[in-house]
Structure formats: C-alpha cells, structure tokens
Amino acid sequence: MKKNILNLLIVGLVAVALTGVRAQETAIDIITTINVLGQTKPIPVSLSGFTGEGAEVLKFDLAVQGFSFVTPDAAQYLISGSDASSISGSLTDKFAKRVLLSRSYNGASLRRQAHAFADDIVFAITGKKGIGQTKIAYKSQPAGYGVGGIYVSDFDGANAQRITKDNAIVAKPAWAPGKLALYYTSYALDNPDIFYHSLTTGQRSKIAAYSGLNTSAAVSPNGSKIAMVLSKSGSANIWVCNADGTNLKQISHGDEDSSPTWSPDGSWICFATKHSERRRLAKVPASGGTVQYLNTTGAPNPTEPDWSPDGKWIAFTSQMHDFNVCVVPVDGSMAPAVLVEGQNPSWSPNSRTLVFNRSMGYRQVLSVLDVFTKQYKDCARATGSSSQPAWAK
C-alpha cells in the first residue's frame, strides 16, 4: 500500500511538472493520493479499437478495479488495440507521453486473452496483480430457496460449471487455498454436513457430520485447519478442526455465533455473534481464548464477515432496512464504510475487490465491487438465484 501511494504520488508530481512546463494540457483530475473507501475517484481511461467480446471483458475487468471510461481527451491513460481474432493492445500514459505496455496475446480463448490484457494494464498502472484470471465458487437455487447446486466460474460469472448434483440443499462453498478443492455444506444425507470435494478427481469426503448443524466451513490460509459452525454442544458455536475433520475443538461459546473467517496469519477467527443484546462482530484466537468485539458502529446487525487477504479489512453484511455490504478496518481506525446494497461479500486475492450477491426482485445475482470507487458490475446471469460467492485465493 505504501509503495502504491508513492507510485501515485510520483504520477501526480510528474503530471504537475508536465502541466507546468506545457500549459496546453487541459485540466484533468490528478489521482488522489489517499484512497478512501467508497470515495476514491476512478482512474479515467479511454478504450479504442475493441468492439466485441474483448471490449466487454476489458470494460468489466477495469470497471471493477477502479477505472472509468472517458473520451481520449479526458483520459489519463489510452488503451487501444484490437480484438478481431486475438487480443493485441497498448497502454499509453498520456501525461508521461509514454507507452507503458504493447502486447499481443495468443492461445486459450479470446476472452481469456482479454482478461490477461486487463491484468497487464492493472499491473502497469497500479503495480497490483489483477483479478482477471481468477475463479469463484457459489451456490445457485432454481427456486430462490431449497435444493440447488454448487458452481465454479470465472470471477465475472462466465464459464460456469455445476459441481454438485445431489438434489439437495447446499450452502457456503469455501476454497482450499491454492488448491482445486472446495469445502461446502450439503443436506444430501438428510442433515447439513460439511464435505471436502476435490475438483480434480470428483472425490468427496465428510469433514463434519455431527447431529445438528454443520455449516459455514472456512479454511485457514495455510489450508491446515477448518473453522465452522456446529451445534453438537447444544448451541450453535464456532469450532475448529484439522483439514481432514480430526482434532475438533470448540472455540466460541456465545448463544448466536455464525460465519467464521480467518485472519491471513491464521491466528484469529472473526465471526458474527450477539453481545449485550446487540449483534456484533467479534474475534477470538484460533486456538481459543478471550473474545474481543469489533467496532462496527454505524453498520447495525453485522453478519457474514470476510477478512481481507492483506489482513487490513473485514467486509461484512449489515442489516438495516436492506442488506448492505460494508468494510471496516480491522484495527478500528475508521468507522465502517457502507458501500452498496448486497450480502455475502468475499474478497479478491488482491484485497481490493469484493464479489457479493444482491437482490434483483426476489432472486439474488452475483456482482463484483471495487471497494475504493464503489463501482460494481453484475456477473453473467445464471438461471435461478445465485448467492454465497467465494473467491478462490
């Protein structure tokens, strides 16, 4: 982050320097040097030469990573190229009068090439790894409730594949970090149980199938532990076990605990609970210990926390009149930012973007949100109601 701000600062300085030297530059907003959640201005870029699927992919990928599309006059960066048979394109910094990137792509699909180009653009401008070639898992229900399936798709909803066909209620998929494997809840055996599912072999194993509730699996960042909600003690609480289901330990004892998520160093688990008659987010050492409550004043009834991979933020759902996606710094240094209507936020690997679900009529659609600019775009529509997205990390 520090380095990023420095980069932006230098871009700003160069822009000022150039404007000073050549007064002919029209007034253009210089990028703000401080990123404020939900209030940062997008970086203006122009896009030319792309007409088909390539244009569609570039617009989606860049919009949800903090860029806006303007005419070349008003742009800070010019993107031009072609998506005629394969993707080729260049990126020019208009202030610096410098080509930052000029590249052609081949292989895979045109769509994939366009995602790769978008990633290269994001990296050239921000120094951050883009999200264009990442995956998500989610659940989808034809009727909006009841039986459904677990799906895996590109982060923008394209190339969706159904993973389970058990004619059962399913819930809350979670990726095993860096692996082709999911944990999820399925009622296939007439009880909400947690399963591990290898996506390479199709093999599944039961991780938790105790009497009562077994749900909300969250995998520790090194993949060795699972946090989840069990009710085997007589109330719904957070428990932790090894990745294979052994070595089970109860780590929370509240009355209304749900939705565990791990800190990236694996030492804490954040979850939703109730304290002094108010719904709160709390964190507890992953090995058990004293519960600490997070300050989410201004975002009532918090549930569904998701800890960012860089460790700084917790995204969650606040229930006011509607559901809202919110983000709060873990250290409590800022009040929570209420971003957009929606639920179930899950962080991208680069901790800048969230995938979440939002209401469209009585159904849920997946959507991708840039937390700094609040720009969001809906994923490719699947039939039915899609929710509980989990971003592969």
Partner 1 sequence: MKMNQIVFPLVLALAATLATTGCKHTPPKITPINGTSPSNVSDVNNQSTLPNANPINSDANPNSTPGSTPTAGLDEFEGMIKDPAALAANTIHFAFDSAAIKKSEDSNISAVASALSGNASNKLLIEGNCDERGTEEYNRALGERRALAAREALAKRGVSPERIRTISYGKDKPTDPGHDDAAWAKNRRADFVLLHPKP
Name residues contacting partner 1, limited to 220-239 (CB under 8 A).
Answer: 229, 231-236
Distance (Å, rounded) from C-alpha 380 to C-alpha 116? Answer: 19
Site string for partner 1, 140-179 (x = CB under 8 A): -x-x-xx-----x--------x-xxxx--x-xx--x--x-
Please state the closest distance from residue 129 (CB atom) to partner 1, in A.
8
* Closest C-alpha among 300, 311, 306 to residue 267: 311
Q: Contact region for partner 1 (CB under 8 A) — 32-40, 48-56, 183-191, 289-297?
A: 183-191
The string of DSSP codes covering 215-282 is EEEEE-TTSSEEEEEE-TTSS-EEEEEETTS-S-EE----SS-EEEEE-TTSSEEEEEEEETTEEEEE
CB-nearer residue toward partner 1: 157 or 349: 349
Distance (Å, rounded) from C-alpha 188 to C-alpha 196? Answer: 13
65 binds partner 1 (CB under 8 A): no
Q: Is the dihedral of CA 128, 134, 137, 142 positive or negative?
A: positive
Q: Is the dihedral of CA 211, 213, 214, 219 positive or negative?
A: negative
Distance (Å, rounded) from C-alpha 182 to C-alpha 180? Answer: 7
CB-nearer residue toward partner 1: 66 or 148: 148
Please state the closest distance from residue 1 (CB atom) to partner 1, in A.
21
Judged by CB under 8 A, the residue of 204, 253, 312, 374 near partner 1 is 204
Please state the closest distance from residue 200 (CB atom) to partner 1, in A.
7
Q: How many residues bind partner 1 (CB under 8 A)?
A: 98
- Give the residue carrying structure tokens 């996606």: 325
Please state the closest distance from residue 333 (CB atom) to partner 1, in A.
26
Judged by CB under 8 A, the residue of 183, 323, 347, 372 near partner 1 is 323
- At 150, which helix (H) or strand (E)? strand 149-154
CB-based contacts of 167: which residues, under 8 Å, 6+ apart?
147
Contact (CB, 8 A) for 367 and 378: yes
Site string for partner 1, 91-130 (x = CB under 8 A): -----xxxx-xxxxxxxx---xx--x--xx----------
Q: How many residues does the chain have?
A: 393
Judged by CB under 8 A, the residue of 248, 330, 335, 338 near partner 1 is 248
For residue 247, the Cα-to-chain-centroid distance in whole angstroms is 30
Site string for partner 1, 271-290 (x = CB under 8 A): -x------------------
CB-nearer residue toward partner 1: 26 or 202: 202
Q: Which of residues 331-390 bind partner 1 (CB under 8 A)?
A: 343-344, 349, 362, 387-388
Cα dist from 16 to 35, 75, 79, 97, whole Å:
19, 16, 22, 14
Q: Contact region for partner 1 (CB under 8 A) — 24-32, 43-51, 70-78, 200-208?
A: 200-208
